[in-house]
Structure 1
Amino acid sequence: MSDPIVSFDEALRSAASRIEEEADDLIKADRYERTVEREAYRAGHYERGLTTTSGQITLKMPKLKGTRFATAIIERCRRRETSVEEAMIEMYLAGVPTGRIEDVSEILWGASVSAATASNLSEKAFEAVEERRSRPLTRSYPHVFVDGIYLKRSWGGAFENVAVMAAIGVNDDGYREVIGAAEGFTESSECWREFLSWLKSRGLSGARMLAGDKAAVMTGAIAEVFPDAAYQRCTAHFYRNALSKVPKSKRGQAAAMLKAIHSQESLEASMERAAGVAEKLEGMKLQAAAKCVRDGVAETLTYTRFPMRHWRRIRANNAIERLNREIRRRTRVVGTFLDGRSALMLVTARLKYVADSERGSRRYLDVSLLDE
């Protein structure tokens, strides 16, 4: 027969009994007992409200004369159970606006939270987020994906678009990690150089390939900071650039031709296919698209240097593009940020939430294949 389920009332009575026992231990005497070792006296009780995951409860806390009573069950001045505060912080990191947190807490626990409480909880969340953002990188990350996203914030008295640059690394066990996020005024060469140097100063090592979109400032910074790492241009961005030079009526055919380049079994076969695609595009009088293929296809085939089982996941920047959509969804609620810290912290908080979810617990690549 299974053990009986302890009711909420029984748990509450147990907590009250433990509080009374703690008071007796502090006084060093039982109720009404007269001893030489007595250090304080009882002076009745006062009621203290506490929000728990089971709702709002009221506890009778002992009043003492001669000493201050502090129980190990409930911290001093705490009005909510720790699990309730953790749930509120998780709601905030998950993208629930502070106004909605008040409504949800009223429904779930029968007690609302003030704007000051929500602000204090967000500060707690940001402390943990900043600690994670600046943590040392002690592992090896053979594959790194980098990208930037623009947000609107106040800058020098005006509202400007500023870039938040993010990086995802696949560690030596094959799992994805958000390894960095930082703000830059624009995606300039200097900003990318500072961002990549910051990652390197925190311990980023073992990078064999960095993937990103086509930006001369980015590729130049990668070559300068990580000279031994190869650069992979995102194939999806390559398709987008080439198809922008194709009339809408011919984009379906051109897209199929471009995708055939990256479905080949080797670098040589892909280059041969690319030459054929460029000739066909020229025959269709699409010289601009053909030039785009000839000039840019080589940097989209860096992935062929690595094991074939990795190709599908490292030839595009999809891993970080998905994060960008999450960032955009969360920051769209705010609109325009008042300062860079609030923008960066909210973005990093969202990245932390996504990394700690199921996505971060699934193996992305079999990195052991790199040693074969």
Structure 2
Amino acid sequence: MAQFSKDQVKAFIKDNNLKTMDDVQSALKELFAETLQSMLEAELDSELGYKKHEITNKETSNSRNGKTKKTIISEYGELDIEVPRDRNGDFEPMIVKKHQKNVTGIEDQIIAMYSKGISTRDIQDHLHQLYGIEVSPTMISNVTNKIVPIIKEWQNRPLQSVYAVVFMDAIHYKVKQNGAIVNKAAYMVIGIDLDGNKDVLGMWIGENESSKFWLSVLNDLKNRGVQDILINCVDNLKGFTEAIGASYPKTDIQKCIIHQVRNSTRYVSYKDLKKVTADLRPIYKAVTEEAAKLESDRFEEVWGSKYPLIVRSWRNNWDELATFFKFPPEIRKLIYTTNMIESYHRQLRKVTKGKSIFPSDEALLKMLYLATQDVIRKWTGRVQNWGQILLQLSVFYPDRIKHHLP
């Protein structure tokens, strides 16, 4: 590439009265825009084979000069340029294509920073301080909006017909809606397929968590091809059992033991907390369900009169809490808590912690999707001991998975 001579550089500095780095950046921005504009016009001249051409344009009101006005991102920030068009619309510029809004890698950087939970203002500051680029909030929003169709395609992709284990839980955020700030739930589903690979099957934004909305999530999974779920791990939300039973009546439900313990200790005074927690442990650490029931009876003898609500809660939820007792240790360890999806939520919170309020459901969905893709990229291996787990599942559910095994 040809270089400017020292005399040309001195003339450039003098003609543009450059005194600061901001002056240099501004002058280079204008020079880049003028050069780009000239290249576009030269490209059209070369295509048509003559200098004086009459061109009309259907994309802009500036039809007299036949140019399309557009704003693009460059190394120097946002540039307003005019892209020439021929009268027939056959000419497609190669330098700045018809729908191109970016002529640099800055767009990828914006999306990468957005996926880490960096605010619009901080993205602006970063690009300005590091590159001297001025980018407006509107441009940042337009760049991140490009992933919305990708999210919709991902959210509606076909799923596998059978999942060995599915984890369901919601994470809560504050979102602006009709001028008010409301609580919204992001409904998340993680599935482990018969190959032992885990994936986020989808995310849905709705009002505060409810079994009715979870039913719509389950129906969506069914519409996307999920015919059967062997084991569904959930927290202790009221109505979860009925919602799962309505969509997947054969599915075994495992309510999270850790959630049950947390809910139990809500009723306990601080002075009894350690003792109650210690006396609950033998119940879910028992070797068999029968042994667990005996430990439950012992707990009631000691604490039943003082904390009857704890006893009642364990009795009422026992069928779903005790599901894991029928499985060997490898499966028990996998399903007795919802730790897998809670770990995923912790990674999402690292990204979203800087956002106390989201301006819209779409803004929340964009950030959660980008953060999720970062998480999924790290899920490269199968679930630990999957060979042994699959063998055991084939014994417990022979008719439901035999057609899906090699």
C-alpha displacement of 1:155: 4.4
Question: What TM-score results when the alignment is normalised by the length of structure 2?
Answer: 0.68
**1:315-326, aligned counterparts within 5 Å?**
315-326=336-347
The gaps in structure 2 that reach 5 residues or longer are 4-38, 53-71, 78-83, 396-406
State the percentage of identical aligned residues.
Answer: 26
Q: Does 1:250 align with 2:272?
A: yes
Q: 1:83 to 1:143 in 2, by over 3 A?
A: farther
Q: Does 1:364 align with 2:383?
A: yes
Name the aligned partner's letter for residue 361 of structure 1.
Answer: T
**1:280-291, aligned counterparts within 5 Å?**
280-282=302-304, 285-291=306-312
C-alpha displacement of 1:70: 6.2
Aligned equivalents of 2:309 and 2:99: distance in 1?
Answer: 69
C-alpha displacement of 1:78: 5.2
Name the aligned partner's letter for residue 294 of structure 2.
Answer: E
- Give the alignment partner of residue 40 of structure 1, picking from 40, 43, 49: 49
Partner residue of 2:326?
305
Report how many residues are paired.
332
Partner residue of 2:60?
none
Aligned equivalents of 1:95 and 1:368: distance in 2?
Answer: 38
- Give the alignment partner of residue 372 of structure 2, picking from 352, 355, 370: 352
**1:217-228, aligned counterparts within 5 Å?**
217-228=239-250
- Give the alignment partner of residue 92 of structure 1, picking from 102, 114, 119: 114
How big is the alpha-carbon RMSD for the aligned residues of Structure 1 and Structure 2?
3.9
C-alpha displacement of 1:248: 1.1
Partner residue of 1:59?
none
Q: 1:315 to 1:351 in 2, by over 3 A?
A: farther
Partner residue of 1:190?
212
SS at match of 2:268: coil
Aligned equivalents of 2:324 and 2:103: distance in 1?
Answer: 50
8 Å Cα contact 1:133/1:348 also seen in 2: no
C-alpha displacement of 1:220: 1.1
Q: Does 1:201 align with 2:223?
A: yes
C-alpha displacement of 1:190: 2.5
Q: 1:111 to 1:255 in 2, by over 3 A?
A: same
**1:111-122, aligned counterparts within 5 Å?**
111-122=133-144
The list of structure 1 runs, each at least 4 consecutive aligned residues, that deviate by more than 6 angstroms after superposition, is: 65-71
Per-residue CA deviations over 1:25-46 (Å, capped at 9, x if unaligned) read x959xxxxxxxxxx62689xxx
Name the aligned partner's letter for residue 96 of structure 1.
Answer: I
**1:207-246, aligned counterparts within 5 Å?**
207-246=229-268
C-alpha displacement of 1:176: 1.9
Per-residue CA deviations over 1:187-222 (Å, capped at 9, x if unaligned) read 334322212111211112331111111122222111
**1:103-182, aligned counterparts within 5 Å?**
103-155=125-177, 158-182=180-204
8 Å Cα contact 2:218/2:244 also seen in 1: yes
Name the aligned partner's letter for residue 173 of structure 1.
Answer: D
Q: 1:308 to 1:242 in 2, by over 3 A?
A: same
8 Å Cα contact 1:326/1:350 also seen in 2: no
8 Å Cα contact 1:330/1:350 also seen in 2: no
C-alpha displacement of 1:92: 0.9
SS at match of 1:164: strand
C-alpha displacement of 1:315: 0.9
8 Å Cα contact 1:139/1:172 also seen in 2: no
Partner residue of 2:29?
none
Question: What TM-score results when the alignment is normalised by the length of structure 1?
Answer: 0.74
Q: Does 1:294 align with 2:315?
A: yes
SS at match of 1:238: helix
Q: 1:339 to 1:70 in 2, by over 3 A?
A: closer
Aligned equivalents of 2:312 and 2:160: distance in 1?
Answer: 43
8 Å Cα contact 1:139/1:171 also seen in 2: no
The gaps in structure 1 that reach 5 residues or longer are 1-8, 10-19, 29-38, 44-48, 57-62
